[in-house]
């Protein structure tokens, strides 16, 4: 059996070669001061730069604490974390991005909360150092998620988080196709909390989340944890149907009383175009849910591992 340690720090890596050396040094310095047995699990998510070679260098220098999971392709940040969850050995598990925007020195702040009995410790970024667009889009997304689900997180985009072993085991055992890990953890948690953490500007490289990926991620979040979009669309459809029935009744009475009419043709076209757009939107919402069902029933692997590099016990 694998040796149990007090702490596992999980770092998904995708094309972060420039940030990895300072990240590793700062991470080691921070964790050594904690004076608890720990491990650092890096998941290389199909990086096309020198990230994997750098990670192998870390392993050679500290084989006692470094473990590497190397994906056969790019499967996404949350799948990279999930794979590390399944292989982690810590009683407490911390997730940390490799871009150094969340300082590794903030980890003890989360561990303090875990020691106080909380089983899921989220975080929110103080004085966020992202662009105006990303900052305010993030706020909008947080508001929309809180309005449509029962998941309460102040900053869902901050991945510096700590979980108890029980929470991680439940996430792994659920085999959920919805891979928004902070939301899953919140659903399984009995005693969650949040702490404020520092946020630095990205020192090198670019964000891996473009506008499409952000939209895609939030579609997954909403459809994975709420039926509200379907319910809203159903209620809206019923309202439109009722109004349409009234309009038909009015037009019929008008024809009987006043006679045929030709005016208002463009208004009717506008109404028709609007209703068609509503139908298309509804088909898209239904398609999102059907797509999730298809992914669940297809039983395809969520990720493929090329190699696991670790010290044999």
| Residue 19 token pair | 């940030």
Looking at the structure, tell me whether residues 79 and 167 fall in a common domain. yes
Q: Check residue 134 and give its pLDDT.
A: 62
How is 207-255 classified by DSSP, letter by letter?
Answer: -S--HHHHHHHHHHHHHHH--HHHHHHHHHHHHHHHHHHHHHHHHHHHH
Classify residue 221: in a domain, yes or no.
Answer: no
Higher pLDDT, 78 or 21: 21
Torsions phi, psi for 231 (to 5 deg): -65, -40
Give Cβ neighbours of residue 126 (< 8 Å, ≥ 6 apart). 196, 197, 198, 199
**Residue 220 in domain:** no
215 lies in some domain: no
Whether 201 and 241 map to the same domain: the answer is: no
pLDDT tens-place string over residues 218-253? 666 666 666 667 767 777 777 776 777 777 677 777
62 and 148 in a single domain? The answer is yes
Per-residue pLDDT, 177: 62
* Cα angle: 90, vertex 92, 94; to 5 degrees: 100
The tokens 């989220």 sit on which residue? 122
* Tally of structural domains, the chain: 2
**What pLDDT is recorded for position 1?**
42
Q: What is the pLDDT of residues 269-302, one digit of tens each?
A: 667 767 777 777 777 777 777 776 766 666 677 8
Residue 305: strand pairing partners: 71
- 191 near 162, Cβ under 8 Å? no
Look at residue 70 and give its three-state secondary structure: strand
Taking the alpha carbons at both ends of the chain, their separation in whole angstroms is 8
Token code pair at residue 95: 């997730």
By DSSP bridging, strand 38-44 and strand 66-71 are parallel
Q: Are residues 234 and 204 in the same domain?
A: no
Cα within 13 Å of Cα(234), Cβ side: 6
- 152 and 74 together in one domain: yes
Is 41 inside any structural domain? yes
Residue 32 belongs to domain with CATH number: 3.90.550.10
pTM confidence score: 0.74
Assess whether 130 and 273 both reside in one domain.
no
Which residues form the domain of 290?
228-298
Which tokens sit at 22?
Answer: 């300072």
If asked whether residues 240 and 291 sit together in one domain, one would say yes
């Amino acid at each position: 059996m694998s040796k149990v340690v007090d702490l596992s720090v999980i770092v998904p890596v995708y094309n972060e070669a420039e940030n990895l050396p300072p990240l590793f040094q700062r991470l080691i310095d921070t964790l050594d001061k904690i004076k608890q047995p720990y491990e650092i699990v890096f998941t290389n998510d199909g990086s096309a730069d020198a990230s994997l070679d750098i990670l192998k260098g870390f392993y050679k220098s500290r084989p006692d604490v470094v473990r590497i999971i190397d994906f056969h392709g790019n499967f996404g940040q949350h799948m990279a974390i999930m794979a590390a969850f399944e292989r982690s050995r810590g009683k407490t598990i911390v997730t940390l991005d490799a871009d150094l925007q969340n300082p590794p020195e903030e980890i003890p702040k989360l561990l303090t909360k875990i020691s106080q009995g909380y089983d899921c410790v989220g975080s929110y970024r103080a004085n966020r150092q992202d662009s105006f667009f990303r900052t305010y889009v993030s706020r909008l997304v947080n508001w929309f998620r809180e309005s449509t689900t029962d998941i309460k997180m102040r900053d869902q985009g901050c991945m510096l988080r700590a979980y108890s072993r029980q929470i991680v085991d439940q996430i792994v055992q659920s085999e959920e196709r919805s891979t928004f890990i902070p939301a899953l953890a919140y659903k399984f948690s009995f005693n969650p909390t949040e702490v404020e953490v520092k946020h630095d500007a990205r020192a090198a490289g670019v964000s891996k989340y473009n506008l499409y990926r952000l939209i895609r991620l939030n579609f997954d979040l909403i459809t994975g944890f709420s039926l509200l979009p379907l319910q809203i669309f159903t209620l809206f459809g019923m309202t439109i149907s009722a109004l349409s029935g009234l309009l038909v009744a009015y037009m019929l009475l008008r024809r009987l009383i006043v006679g045929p009419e030709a005016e208002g043709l463009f208004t009717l076209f506008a109404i028709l175009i609007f209703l068609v757009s509503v139908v298309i939107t509804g088909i898209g919402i239904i398609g999102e849910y059907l797509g999730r069902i298809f992914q669940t029933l297809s039983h395809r692997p969520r990720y493929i591992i090329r190699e696991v590099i670790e010290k044999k016990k």
